Structure 1
Amino acid sequence: MREFLVEITTDKIPAGTTGEEIAERRAAEAVRAHELAATGHLARLWRPVGEARSIGIWRATDEAEVHEKVLGTLPLHPWMTARVTALEPHPNDPGAGDAAAARDI
């Protein structure tokens, strides 16, 4: 699987949506995030302090899978804007070096 940096903003909540419906979807979103983490599709997720967006490291075979089979399964997906950026290893990544060293042992 490849890794993708995904910035998600929940900015399309329809007018007239009740607070109860928003709370229900957010609760379902948390459950789904845990499921995606368990299957290896969600590696990390952050919310910048004071902002209404999330930034995460997501895993999939390609960008189409990120959109369709991963993000598309989120309960808040219809209300979201997602910016997806494919990532590749950096030669100076200390984590990659540790992984390479561990393979050599």
Structure 2
Amino acid sequence: MKEFLVELTVSVPEGTHQAEVDRRRAAEAVRAKELAAEGHLFRLWRPVGEDRVIGVWRADDEAELREKVLGSLPLQPHPNDPDLTG
């Protein structure tokens, strides 16, 4: 397996209720714990006061990282997200 350093920016749309933010973070934490148990997540940082998450992820290649590892996180898609299908 290869290791990948990935930075994700977390943007919460204005007007989102805190209960929804908490629910999504809890779902992401559950999936992150599963990915760690599977050997795909080595380390995760959420810098205090910042809207980003930095992680060291493990996968056989970039396709597996995108499609099977990061793609399995319960993240909310955003219209400005890059097209990662190609």
State the TM-score, normalizing by the size of structure 2. Answer: 0.79
Distance 1:65 1:10, change over 3 A: same
Q: How many Å apart are 1:6 and its aligned residue?
A: 0.3
Stretches of structure 1 that go unaligned for 5 or more consecutive residues are 83-105
Letter in 1 for 2:7: E
Higher RCO, 1 vs 2 (CA within 8 Å, ≥6 residues apart)? 1
Structure 1: distance between partners of 2:75 and 2:40: 17
RMSD across aligned positions (CA): 2.1
Matched, 1:5 2:5: yes
Q: How many Å apart are 1:15 and its aligned residue?
A: 5.1
Q: Which residue of 1 aligns with 2:22?
A: 23
Q: Which residue of 2 aligns with 1:86?
A: none
Q: How many Å apart are 1:14 and its aligned residue?
A: 4.4
Letter in 2 for 1:8: L
Secondary structure in 2 aligned to 1:24? helix
Q: How many Å apart are 1:18 and its aligned residue?
A: 2.7
Letter in 2 for 1:34: K
Secondary structure in 2 aligned to 1:7? strand
Deviations 1:60-92 (A, max 9, x none): 11111111111111112525x69xxxxxxxxxx
Q: How many Å apart are 1:48 and its aligned residue?
A: 2.3
8 Å contact from structure 1 (residues 10, 76) kept in 2: no
Q: How many Å apart are 1:20 and its aligned residue?
A: 1.7
Letter in 2 for 1:2: K
Q: Hey, which of these two has a bigger chunk of helix by percent? A: 1
Aligned length: 80
Secondary structure in 1 aligned to 2:77? helix
Secondary structure in 2 aligned to 1:78? coil
Structure 2: distance between partners of 1:36 and 1:57: 12
Structure 1: distance between partners of 2:65 and 2:76: 12
